[in-house]
Structures are given as C-alpha cells and as structure tokens.
Amino acid sequence: MKKAYVHGYDQRENIRLQDQASTLVELLHADTKYPAGSRVLEAGCGVGAQTTTLARNSPQALITSVDISETSLAEARRKAMAAGLTNVQFEQADIFNLPYGPDSFDHIFVCFVLEHLARPVEALHQLKSHLKQGGTITVIEGDHGSAYFHPDSEAARQAIQCQVELQRRAGGNAMVGRELYPLLRKAGFDSIHVSPRMVYVDSSRPELVEGFTKKTFTAMIEGVRQSATEAGMVEPDVFEKGIRDLYQTAGADGVFCYTFFKAVARRSPVAVTTGS
C-alpha cells in the first residue's frame, strides 16, 4: 500500500487529527475497554491520535500499535511518551503482511484505516488470521456521504465531493463507514454488530460547533483545497464558497450532521477456518 495518504502527514494535519480525537473521544471510544492481560493489536495507529484513549481505557491490556509509516510512528511514540503510557509498544508493520503468527491477539482495533485501503476485505481477512478464535475486532470509520447540513449548499457539497474523489483516486473510500457490515461479513467474521455514532451539531452545542463542524470536518475539507483545484476538480471560487458555506453551518441557525460507524465482530470460536 504505497498510495498517497490523502490526509497528509504535516503538522497541521496532526493537530486536526488530535482535535478530532479529543472532541469525539467519548462518542467513539467510551465503550471500548479490554480486560486485564488481554493482547490487543491496534492496526494502523497513524500518529497515535486514538492510541492514548485506547491505552487509558484499558490500562491493564497489552497493546501493540502498528503502522506502515515510520514517520507517523515516531509521532505516535512521542505522543505516548508524553502521555506516560506504559502498556503500548509500537512496531512498524504492513497490515497485509504482519509479522505475528496465528492466534496472536485477543482483540484487534482498527480506526480510520479501511478508508485508505483499496482492498479492505483482504485487510480484514489478514487481520482475522492473527486473531484468536472467539476474539473480537472493533472497526471505526467515518462516511463523508453521511454529511448534511443547514443551510444546504451545492458548493459545500461539491467541496466535500473533492475530498471523496481525491481519496478514491488514492485507492481509498471516504464513504466506507456504511459498508462495515458487508465488509466484515465478506471477511468471514461472525456476530457482527454495527453501531452508528451520529454527530449532531447545532448552536446549543458550542463545543461541537468548534471541535467538530469547524476544526474537524471543515478543516479537513479545507485541507484538500490545493490538491482539488490543481487537479481541476472544482473552480477555485466554488471551492471557496463551499468552505464559507460550511462555516455558515456553524452559525446560530446552522446545523451540521455526520455519522461515524463502529462495528464489533467476532472470529468464530468453533468453525473450522480455511485459508488462515
């Protein structure tokens, strides 16, 4: 997977991912807690935006966080050290070619990773082979097709569509959230339960107006300005209007909606497995 990572690796992007994790942390992560002594793989930890929450929610679990990018891992290690985490080890590894054997982990955690992969079912299938029978996988993904807002705006929808199209060209899928159930099913998992986590923002929720509508979602769309206009996907003035209109949804009479999807599934504890 040597495709471009659409979110980029720069410092501003780190801040955005961190903003995102700190405003959505309860919504997405509060119900993920692993028992003492369990071995957990965080596959695709990136810059460690979720790792601190994961490790603090399960302080007695033994977490291995891997990413394909050494640059991201360096930042993730720095962040874990600053947070004083003692139950996480970081290792460079490719999800499609992990250096662990069968039955290595009790649980696997995958957050904001499948959106970047051209072969998500294969990735899930590979991960399953490292999971103990009866172990669980937790997958969290966004879905940019779930974004809608008031006032509605064709320009804002076009600006969002640029991000979707750039991610598609990079081999990913920005609308993967809605597909978690069929993807996990195709990868052979059992007991799949998908739980949508909708973020609803109006001006009675000022912390979400700032933390989500402006600093997470609109900032992410602003982040593709140069790529989108250079690729000729959109007229620069339409893109600018789209961004202005997205900020309008953060006003006193604005509303912004977005849905993340969280799935938990199990590797069958009894069936004879094939090919893993």
CB of 182 to a copy of itself, least distance (A): 4
Query: In the set 62, 194, 244, 248, which binds a copy of itself (CB under 8 A)?
Result: 194
Answer yes or no whether residue 143 interacts with a copy of itself by CB under 8 A. yes
Helix 236-248 vs helix 154-169: crossing angle, to nearest 10: 110
C-alpha span between 65 and 40 (Å, rounded): 8
Sign of the C-alpha dihedral computed for residues 215, 217, 223 and 229 taken in this order: negative
Answer yes or no whether residue 135 interacts with a copy of itself by CB under 8 A. no
Contact 176, 244 (CB under 8 A): no
Identify residues 63-122 at the interface with a copy of itself (CB under 8 A): none
CB of 205 to a copy of itself, least distance (A): 9
CB of 206 to a copy of itself, least distance (A): 13
State the number of binding residues for a copy of itself (CB under 8 A): 30
Query: In the set 175, 209, 220, 224, which binds a copy of itself (CB under 8 A)?
Result: 175
Contact 19, 40 (CB under 8 A): no
Query: In the set 40, 116, 254, 267, which binds a copy of itself (CB under 8 A)?
Result: 254
C-alpha span between 48 and 242 (Å, rounded): 30
User: What is the residue-wise DSSP string for 106-174?
Assistant: EEEEEES-GGG-S-HHHHHHHHHHTEEEEEEEEEEE--GGG-EEES--HHHHHHHHHHHHHHHHTT--T
Secondary structure letter of residue 176 according to DSSP:
G
Answer yes or no whether residue 179 interacts with a copy of itself by CB under 8 A. yes
Comparing CB distances to a copy of itself, the nearer of 90 and 189 is 189
Answer yes or no whether residue 259 interacts with a copy of itself by CB under 8 A. yes
Name 164's Cβ contacts closer than 8 Å, sequence gap at least 6: 144, 145, 174, 175
Answer yes or no whether residue 152 interacts with a copy of itself by CB under 8 A. yes
CB of 63 to a copy of itself, least distance (A): 29
Query: In the set 87, 203, 229, 248, which binds a copy of itself (CB under 8 A)?
Result: 203
C-alpha span between 265 and 256 (Å, rounded): 30
Secondary structure letter of residue 273 according to DSSP:
P
Stretch that binds a copy of itself, among 28-36, 74-82, 91-99, 192-200 (CB under 8 A): 192-200
Query: In the set 129, 181, 238, 247, which binds a copy of itself (CB under 8 A)?
Result: 181
Residue 74 is inside which H or E element, if any? helix 70-82
Answer yes or no whether residue 26 interacts with a copy of itself by CB under 8 A. no
Comparing CB distances to a copy of itself, the nearer of 169 and 205 is 205
Contacting residues toward a copy of itself, per CB under 8 A: 143, 145-146, 148-150, 152, 175, 178-179, 181-182, 185-186, 192-196, 198, 200, 202-204, 252-255, 257, 259
